[in-house]
Chains A and B, each alone.
Chain A
């Protein structure tokens, strides 16, 4: 029993990082009805900027965090301009393919900048963790979980309580009508990308600070986990992104503990497959599956 609960806690910790990445995917999908495959690689490149600052400038951890987040936002803006803004609204397939192409490009850039395989990344806390009875929580994981919950609340408030959020939802529903409300869909999309990249940068920093290293594969890994978590929780649903992320983390932790590392990813895919067959909109996406049906087919 103690093992089970400890494994669940570990799963929730890694899952909260998945949840953050899924939030970024959801934000972009929610506004544009498009999937940005190069989201993970953008975070990776931002993290490479961070590690570069760490290695060559011997920057403090907080500065590495700032550089990582700012770097991710900058790359996110580049991706938006190059493959979402430049490609027209109705060409969803084209923009998804071009986001894949940019993914390759970003990985190239990363390996040119830092040709080694693995680079160190500063840890967030010097002290290790906290003990609650028989359970042990790593400080980084508690922080990640707290940050994910905080981001969820901020994003909910932003989307439902501000005029910017209203504009965002209006564009997502009908960008043609939004234009006549004096809203520029181009600008709203741009800011949605900036926010998504910011969240991605934060997630990237927290994950890498826990691992204390970064490799070029981080981009692939982040896109994978974020996409699966989003699909699991519900396409375009913000609470769904959180639930999907946490669930994915817990499933992975348990299969790893009971069945071994080799079946970890396989189980995640199997669960995703079952969820998509039984509830095509994801766990919390059922209510919106009708509305998204069109977008779903387009993708």
Chain B
């Protein structure tokens, strides 16, 4: 489904991502882990098109994404959440989800309807998304007035609203307590159940080990291990590079 081929990104000689090749299969939850600065965020940004690769390519559903501007990638079926929450604070919860929907002309009632109103079907779908994120009761509140946990859920709702084929979750569990992490785990599994492919970048090992089908481990921009959660936990190189680093303590 998603294929990275010799993907590289160099910043002024620093190899943030260095010849990364891997393949994410349709419908799996794929973990991407590694110490801080190992190139995870850069990889996500390369897939989203905010950064352009120094070398290599990203293929999604058999299509080379090279040159496709970021705002077109949503229509290609890729959505994402942000490590630092980036909601539209002055819009309501409902509007945040509405704006994220992928109602391309022709898919629904056409251009005018899409830009100047919302059909019953659209409203129903938004309602559904809000229920999924447990935000139905807060539809009319401004996003900036939500509690932290709710904002995180709205981020996820917004990414889901576009009905993507692939969701990139960039450290969605950051700052969450144990209960919230478990909630998030259930939601990711629900996405998987709906056939959505998930690429999870995360420091919280509890979540990564508990939800992913496969994990790729990066260090200094290179792939150092790839396997099931069990295999990764037993991998000596990973222990040395990642699990042994002070970073895992803070996570």
Give chain A's interface residues, CB within 8 Å of chain B.
162-164, 166-167, 169-170, 173-174, 176-185
User: 30 A-B contacts, Cβ less than 8 Å apart?
Assistant: A162-B115, A162-B116, A162-B117, A163-B98, A163-B115, A163-B117, A164-B115, A166-B91, A166-B95, A166-B99, A169-B90, A170-B88, A170-B91, A170-B99, A173-B89, A173-B91, A176-B86, A178-B88, A179-B50, A179-B70, A179-B71, A180-B70, A180-B79, A181-B71, A181-B74, A182-B75, A182-B162, A183-B71, A184-B71, A185-B71
Total of A-B residue pairs, C-beta within 8 Å = 64
Closest to B76 in A: A182
Residues of A within 8 A of B118 (CB): 163
Q: How far, in whole Å, are A184 and B82 apart by their CA atoms in the complex?
A: 18
Per DSSP, are chain A's interface residues mostly helix, strand or loop, or mixed? helix
Residues of B within 8 A of A173 (CB): 88-91
Closest CB-CB distance, A159 to chain B, in whole Å?
A: 11
Residues of A within 8 A of B114 (CB): 163
Q: How far, in whole Å, are A181 and B72 apart by their CA atoms in the complex?
A: 9
Residues of A within 8 A of B86 (CB): 174, 176-177
Closest to A183 in B: B71
Closest CB-CB distance, A123 to chain B, in whole Å?
A: 36
Closest CB-CB distance, B58 to chain A, in whole Å?
A: 16
User: Do the beta carbons of A182 and B74 come within 8 Å of each other?
Assistant: yes
User: Do the beta carbons of B89 and A183 come within 8 Å of each other?
Assistant: no
Contact partner, B116, options A164, A177, A180, A182, Cβ 8 Å = A164
Q: Which of B115-136 contact A (CB under 8 A)?
A: 115-118
Q: How far, in whole Å, are A162 and B116 apart by their CA atoms in the complex?
A: 5
| B102 contacts the other chain (CB 8 A) | yes
Closest CB-CB distance, B96 to chain A, in whole Å?
A: 9
| B146 contacts the other chain (CB 8 A) | no
Q: How far, in whole Å, are A185 and B158 apart by their CA atoms in the complex?
A: 18
Residues of A within 8 A of B139 (CB): none
Closest CB-CB distance, B162 to chain A, in whole Å?
A: 7
Closest CB-CB distance, A266 to chain B, in whole Å?
A: 38
Closest CB-CB distance, A280 to chain B, in whole Å?
A: 20
| B195 contacts the other chain (CB 8 A) | no
Closest to A177 in B: B86
